[in-house]
């Protein structure tokens, strides 16, 4: 196995050693509260952000940080981090056959996440920062303990990635208070880069595997020798974007990484999935990674503002992969068919439309279209997508599995 292709999903189901079925189903496995929380936060926070930006509302209590920093931080370390935590707590049980946090422990983790989201709006900054910095290290520690008990050391790098995300988050809070000589936005860019790398590693593991399992007789045109250069150049390009001065060299690295990522995606034969929305959404979302890297390359050359590339990666790749994975994995772990309903397909389309609108917003505004109109349209599409997710999945995530099993 390529060392960078971390085993995201088990090769075969593992009989998990778990307590008897008791308590509320929502506290039985990590994906349930964290997927619900992430989707609700996505649906509520973006309209709030747009209303604040456009001066339509004023919060009764001053926010502990500027609205732009709140928006960028919370989408990374509130929304995306919740999905990552929910996924890893769920996958950890499948990998090891051991119980991951459930019951009161899982409830405490979920309420810690929720408390930090509320504190970001109304609490004194030190309290908000303290609450916000606790979750990722706690989950990393719990994941390490389960992996070590099961002897699954090859999955330990995922806990290391969580700790790197926690470090970027801590750096953001220190920078926001002026305690380190780093711009807060640089720490947020580092967080986005880490999340994109998680998506590259996980995408390389699950997207071709899902495509093969759903398409009998399909042979993918994989080039294993390109995996390491693709991931390494992507990491190097993103590191240059975060840490190095803008210029031709970072642009060249990002451009080459974009080309290799596009080649990687095409080798997975995305066009064979066009009749299976639960698959094509993952391919379509992953396509935003080469697009985002290419847009960042143009920004490095001063040909484009950096916002387009950031939102291609944050809304297109991250938002698209999130909506695709939280529908697929929630269906699988509630014992439902891996087939998207019409509401889910609409949610996929809305997230991708939001990404297109948000990435093109600078160009749309430059063409003379009032800035507010496409911004509101993108926000409505994003909000609508996650509202649809909540409408379909909330009853399922609050109820026991259809097959009566644990989880």
CA distances 306 to 11, 186, 343, Å, are 40, 13, 33
User: HSE-up of 74 (CA within 13 Å, CB side)?
Assistant: 31
C-alpha 274/C-alpha 313 separation (Å) is 22
Domain total of the chain: 1
CATH code of the domain containing 221: 1.20.210.10
Alpha helices in 97-223 (DSSP H): 103-122, 125-132, 135-150, 156-176, 184-214
Per-residue pLDDT of the chain (407 residues; tens, 9 = 90+): 443 444 444 444 444 444 556 679 999 999 999 999 999 999 999 999 999 989 888 876 777 888 899 999 999 999 999 999 999 999 899 888 889 999 999 999 999 999 999 999 989 999 999 999 999 999 999 999 999 998 888 888 888 889 999 999 999 999 999 999 999 999 999 999 999 999 999 899 899 988 888 887 788 877 778 889 999 999 999 999 999 999 999 999 999 999 999 999 999 999 999 899 999 999 999 999 999 999 999 999 999 999 999 999 999 999 999 999 999 999 999 999 999 999 999 999 999 999 999 999 888 877 777 888 889 999 999 999 999 999 999 999 999 999 988 88
pLDDT in tens, 287-314: 999 999 999 999 999 999 999 999 999 9
With 0.85 as the threshold, say if the pTM is over it. yes
Q: Supply the pLDDT for residue 19.
A: 53
Q: Which range marks the domain in which residue 188 is found?
A: 35-397
pLDDT in tens, 328-351: 999 999 999 999 999 999 999 999
Is residue 1 in some structural domain? no
Q: Which residues face 154 on adjacent strands?
A: none
C-alpha 81/C-alpha 293 separation (Å) is 21
The CA-based diameter of the chain, rounded to the nearest angstrom, is 62
Is residue 201 in some structural domain? yes
Is residue 21 in some structural domain? no
Average of per-residue pLDDT values in the chain: 91
Q: Supply the pLDDT for residue 234.
A: 97
Q: Supply the pLDDT for residue 242.
A: 96
Is residue 58 in some structural domain? yes
Is residue 405 in some structural domain? no
CB atoms within 10 A of CB 244: 12
pLDDT in tens, 11-54: 444 444 445 566 799 999 999 999 999 999 999 999 999 999 89
Is residue 259 in some structural domain? yes
Is residue 368 in some structural domain? yes
Is residue 28 in some structural domain? no
Q: Supply the pLDDT for residue 13.
A: 44
Q: In the 8-state DSSP scheme, what is residue 336?
A: -
């Amino acid at each position: 196995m390529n060392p960078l292709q971390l085993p995201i999903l088990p090769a075969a189901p593992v009989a998990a050693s778990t307590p008897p079925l008791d308590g509320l189903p929502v506290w039985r496995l990590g994906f349930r509260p964290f997927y619900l929380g992430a989707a609700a936060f996505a649906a509520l926070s973006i309209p709030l952000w747009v209303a604040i930006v456009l001066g339509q509302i004023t919060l009764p209590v001053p926010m502990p940080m500027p609205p732009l920093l709140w928006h960028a931080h919370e989408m990374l370390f509130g929304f995306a981090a919740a999905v990552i935590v929910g996924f890893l707590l769920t996958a950890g049980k499948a990998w090891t056959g051991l119980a991951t946090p459930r019951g009161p422990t899982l409830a405490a983790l979920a309420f810690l996440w929720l408390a930090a989201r509320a504190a970001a709006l109304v609490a004194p900054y030190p309290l908000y920062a303290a609450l916000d910095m606790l979750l990722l290290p706690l989950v990393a520690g719990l994941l390490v303990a389960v992996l070590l008990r099961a002897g699954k050391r090859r999955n330990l790098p995922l806990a290391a990635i969580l700790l790197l995300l926690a470090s970027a988050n801590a750096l953001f809070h220190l920078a926001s208070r002026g305690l380190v000589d780093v711009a807060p936005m640089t720490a947020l860019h580092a967080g986005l880069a880490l999340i994109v790398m998680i998506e590259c590693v996980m995408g390389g593991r699950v997207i071709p595997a899902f495509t093969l399992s759903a398409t009998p007789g399909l042979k993918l045109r994989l080039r294993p020798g390109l995996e390491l250069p693709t991931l390494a150049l992507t990491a190097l390009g993103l590191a240059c974007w975060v840490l190095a001065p803008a210029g031709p060299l970072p642009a060249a690295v990002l451009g080459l990484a974009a080309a290799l990522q596009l080649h990687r995606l095409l080798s997975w034969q995305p066009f064979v999935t066009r009749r299976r929305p639960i698959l094509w959404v993952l391919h379509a979302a992953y396509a935003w990674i080469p697009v985002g890297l290419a847009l960042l390359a143009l920004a490095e050359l001063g040909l484009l503002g950096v916002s387009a590339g950031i939102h291609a990666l944050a809304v297109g790749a991250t938002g698209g992969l999130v909506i695709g994975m939280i529908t697929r994995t929630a269906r699988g772990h509630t014992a439902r068919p891996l087939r998207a309903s019409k509401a889910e397909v609409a949610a996929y389309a809305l997230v991708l439309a939001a990404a297109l609108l948000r990435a093109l917003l600078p160009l749309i505004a430059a063409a003379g279209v009032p800035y507010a109109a496409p911004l509101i349209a993108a926000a409505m599409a994003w909000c609508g997508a996650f509202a649809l997710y909540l409408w379909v999945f909330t009853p399922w995530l609050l109820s026991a599995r259809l097959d009566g099993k644990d989880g």
